A and B are shown apart, each in its own frame.
Chain A
Amino acid sequence: MSFLLPFDSLVCTLLGISLTVWITLLLVFIIVPAIFGVSFGIRKLYMKTLLKVFEWATLRIERGARERKQAIYKTNSNGIIVKEPTSLEEEIKQLRRNGSNRALDSREFEMSDIFYFCRKGVETIVDDEVTKRFSAEELESWNLMTRTNNNFQYISLRLTVLWGLGVFVRYCFLLPLRVTLAITGISLLVIGTTMVGYLPNGWFKDFLSKHVHLMCYRICVRALTAIIHYHDSENRPKNGGICVANHTSPIDVIILASDGFYAMVGQIHGGLMGVIQRAMVKACPHIWFERSEVKDRNLVARRLSEHVRDQAKLPILIFPEGTCINNTSVMMFKKGSFEIGATVYPVAIKYDPRFGEAFWNSSKYGMVNYLLRMMTSWAVVCSVWYLPPVTREEDEDAVQFANRVKAAIARQGGLVDLLWDGGLKRQKVKDTYKEEQQKLYSQSEYGTVHNLEYYRCVFSHFSMSRCVKQIGWL
Chain B
Amino acid sequence: MGSRASSLLREEEIEEIKKETGFSHSQITRLYSRFTSLDKGENGTLCREDFQRIPELAINPLGDRIINAFFPESEDQVNFRGFMRTLAHFRPIEDSDKSKDPLVPEPLNSRNNKLLFAFRLYDLDKDDKISREELLQVLRMMVGVNISEEQLGSIADRTIQEADQNGDLSISFTEFQKVLEKVDVEQKMSIRFLH
* Option from B59, B190, B194 in Cβ contact (under 8 Å) with A437: B59
Contact B143 A131 (CB under 8 A): no
Q: Is A201 an interface residue (CB 8 A)?
A: no
Contact A81 B192 (CB under 8 A): yes
Using known A-B contacts A118-B121, A153-B7, A438-B143, determine if residue A125 contacts B59 with beta carbons closer than 8 Å.
Answer: no
Contact B183 A117 (CB under 8 A): no
Contacts between the two chains (Cβ within 8 Å), count: 194
Which of A183-191, A224-232, A258-266, A427-435 lies at the interface with chain B?
Answer: A427-435
* Option from B31, B52, B62, B63 in Cβ contact (under 8 Å) with A114: B62
* Option from B55, B117, B183 in Cβ contact (under 8 Å) with A420: B55
Bound Cα distance from A81 to B55, whole angstroms: 18
Contact B189 A126 (CB under 8 A): no
Q: Is B159 an interface residue (CB 8 A)?
A: yes
Q: Is A124 an interface residue (CB 8 A)?
A: yes
Bound Cα distance from A123 to B189, whole angstroms: 10
Using known A-B contacts A118-B62, A122-B66, A122-B90, determine if residue A111 contacts B57 with beta carbons closer than 8 Å.
Answer: no
* Option from B54, B90, B143 in Cβ contact (under 8 Å) with A119: B90
Using known A-B contacts A73-B3, A111-B159, determine if residue A132 contacts B188 with beta carbons closer than 8 Å.
Answer: no
Which of A208-216, A272-280, A440-448 lies at the interface with chain B?
Answer: A440-448
Bound Cα distance from A146 to B66, whole angstroms: 37
* Option from B57, B61, B139, B190 in Cβ contact (under 8 Å) with A124: B57
Contact A121 B63 (CB under 8 A): yes
Bound Cα distance from A163 to B159, whole angstroms: 66
* Option from A80, A95, A151 in Cβ contact (under 8 Å) with B188: A95
Bound Cα distance from A358 to B192, whole angstroms: 33
Contact A128 B37 (CB under 8 A): no
* Option from A124, A127, A441 in Cβ contact (under 8 Å) with B143: A441
Tally of B interface residues using CB under 8 Å: 65
Which chain A residue lies CB-closest to B32?
A73
B49 to chain A, nearest CB (A): 10
Q: Which of B26, B55, B121 has the most CB of A within 10 A?
A: B55
Contact A126 B31 (CB under 8 A): yes
Q: Is B174 an interface residue (CB 8 A)?
A: no
Using known A-B contacts A81-B191, A117-B61, A434-B61, determine if residue A98 contacts B182 with beta carbons closer than 8 Å.
Answer: yes
Q: How does the 8 Å CB contact mask read for B158-195 relative to A, with 1 for contact and 0 for none?
A: 01000100000001000010011011110011111110
Contact B143 A79 (CB under 8 A): no
Contact A81 B6 (CB under 8 A): no
Q: Describe A's contact surface by its main secondary structure.
A: helix
Contact A108 B194 (CB under 8 A): no
Bound Cα distance from A436 to B57, whole angstroms: 14
Using known A-B contacts A135-B37, A150-B4, A439-B144, determine if residue A121 contacts B192 with beta carbons closer than 8 Å.
Answer: no
Contact A114 B59 (CB under 8 A): no
B77 — which chain A residues lie within 8 A by C-beta? none
Which chain B residue lies CB-closest to A82?
B192
A115 — which chain B residues lie within 8 A by C-beta? 118, 183, 185, 188-189
A364 to chain B, nearest CB (A): 10
Contact B34 A126 (CB under 8 A): yes
Bound Cα distance from A156 to B138, whole angstroms: 57
Q: Is A76 an interface residue (CB 8 A)?
A: yes
Contact B66 A118 (CB under 8 A): yes
B83 to chain A, nearest CB (A): 9
B93 — which chain A residues lie within 8 A by C-beta? none
Contact B34 A80 (CB under 8 A): yes
Using known A-B contacts A117-B62, A442-B146, determine if residue A459 contacts B56 with beta carbons closer than 8 Å.
Answer: yes
* Option from A71, A109, A438 in Cβ contact (under 8 Å) with B146: A438
Q: Is B33 an interface residue (CB 8 A)?
A: yes
Bound Cα distance from A74 to B26, whole angstroms: 9
Bound Cα distance from A432 to B60, whole angstroms: 11
B70 to chain A, nearest CB (A): 8
Q: How does the 8 Å CB contact mask read for A51-73 relative to B, with 1 for contact and 0 for none?
A: 00000000000000000000101
Contact A109 B139 (CB under 8 A): yes
Contact B87 A122 (CB under 8 A): yes
Tally of A interface residues using CB under 8 Å: 68
Using known A-B contacts A73-B6, A132-B37, determine if residue A434 contacts B188 with beta carbons closer than 8 Å.
Answer: no
Which chain A residue lies CB-closest to B192?
A82
A436 — which chain B residues lie within 8 A by C-beta? 59
Which chain B residue lies CB-closest to A429?
B55
Bound Cα distance from A153 to B27, whole angstroms: 17
A152 — which chain B residues lie within 8 A by C-beta? 3
Bound Cα distance from A79 to B191, whole angstroms: 13
Q: How does the 8 Å CB contact mask read for B1-31 relative to A, with 1 for contact and 0 for none?
A: 1111111000000000000000001110111
Q: How does the 8 Å CB contact mask read for B75-108 relative to A, with 1 for contact and 0 for none?
A: 0000000000001001000000000000000000
Q: Is A235 an interface residue (CB 8 A)?
A: no
Contact B143 A80 (CB under 8 A): no
A146 — which chain B residues lie within 8 A by C-beta? 1
Contact B184 A442 (CB under 8 A): no
Bound Cα distance from A111 to B144, whole angstroms: 17
A129 to chain B, nearest CB (A): 7
Q: How does the 8 Å CB contact mask read for A416-429 relative to B, with 1 for contact and 0 for none?
A: 00001000100011
Contact B193 A80 (CB under 8 A): yes
Using known A-B contacts A125-B57, A429-B59, A442-B147, determine if residue A99 contacts B183 with beta carbons closer than 8 Å.
Answer: yes
Q: Is B51 an interface residue (CB 8 A)?
A: yes
Q: Which of B59, B141, B151 has the most CB of A within 10 A?
A: B59
A128 — which chain B residues lie within 8 A by C-beta? 54-57
Contact A80 B61 (CB under 8 A): no
Contact residues of A with B, CB < 8 Å? 71, 73-74, 76, 78-82, 84, 91, 95, 98-99, 101, 108-109, 111-132, 135, 146, 149-153, 155, 160, 163, 420, 424, 428-429, 433-439, 441-443, 445-447, 458-459
Question: What 7 A-B pairs are tightest by C-beta distance, nearest first?
Answer: A438-B144, A442-B146, A442-B143, A433-B59, A124-B56, A121-B66, A429-B55
Knowing that A131-B53, A152-B3 are A-B contacts, what are 5 other residue pairs whose CB atoms are under 8 Å apart, sorted by A's residue number? A98-B184, A112-B118, A114-B138, A150-B5, A441-B142
For this complex, 8 residue pairs linking A to B, each with C-beta atoms less than 8 Å apart, are: A80-B194, A99-B179, A118-B117, A122-B90, A126-B191, A150-B5, A424-B55, A439-B146
